[in-house]
Amino acid sequence: MDGLAEGALDLHALLAKAIGPLRGQGHSCRRPAFIIYTSGTTGQPKGALHAHRALLGHLPGVEYPARTGFRSPANRFWTPADWAWIGGLFDVLMPAWHHGVCVVAHRPRKFDPAEAMRLMVRHGVRNVFMPPTALKLLRASGAVEPGMRLRSLASVREPR
């Protein structure tokens, strides 16, 4: 398991063992692939249908903040955001998997700035997607961790 953090599992090896080689199904990039639901903060949640090409269109927004080295095997990505939310899914999980970048999977019951800092240092996290609420808590806490060297820290604007 070269390049994997302690206790990490190799997703590709597990998939190959479970289902064998993956074969393309010849789907058009325009065909529907998934539905992302709005949060419901301004009314009932609404589903937005996206095509297979949506991830490729979304990638530059994730790649640019990380600049060079995003595809490095030494890279680690983490977010306290739920992977069911588009921020966790399309700003971390799917782009990292697309590029073969390791994603640290840890979601505490409640966001704790000091615990988040320790986790990032312990696992060598270099890229983080931090939801606005967590970023505010992190800033307000003044938590620092020796050895912290983030390559990029991204967030999004809170809805009005």
Q: How far, in whole angstroms, is CA 55 from its chain's centroid?
A: 13
pLDDT of residue 1: 44
Distance CA 79, CA 135 (A): 11
| pLDDT given at position 57 | 83
pLDDT at 112: 92
Claim: this prediction has a pTM higher than 0.95: no
Residue 160's pLDDT is 46
Provide the CB-side half-sphere exposure for 14 (13 A, CA): 5
**In the chain, where are the structural domains located?**
54-160
Q: Which residues of 15-46 are buried (b: 16+ CB within 10 A; e: fewer)?
A: eeeeeeeeeeeeeeeeeeeeeeeeeeeeeeee
Please give the pLDDT value at position 91.
85
Instruction: Give pLDDT tens digits along the chain (160 positions).
Output: 456 677 777 877 777 777 666 566 666 778 888 888 877 778 888 888 888 888 888 888 777 766 655 677 778 889 998 887 888 888 888 888 888 888 999 878 889 998 998 898 888 888 888 888 888 888 888 877 766 665 555 555 554 4
Candidates 3.40.50.300, 3.30.1490.20, 3.40.190.10, 3.40.50.980; correct CATH number of 54-160? 3.40.50.980
End-to-end CA distance of the chain: 45
Supply the pLDDT for residue 47: 87
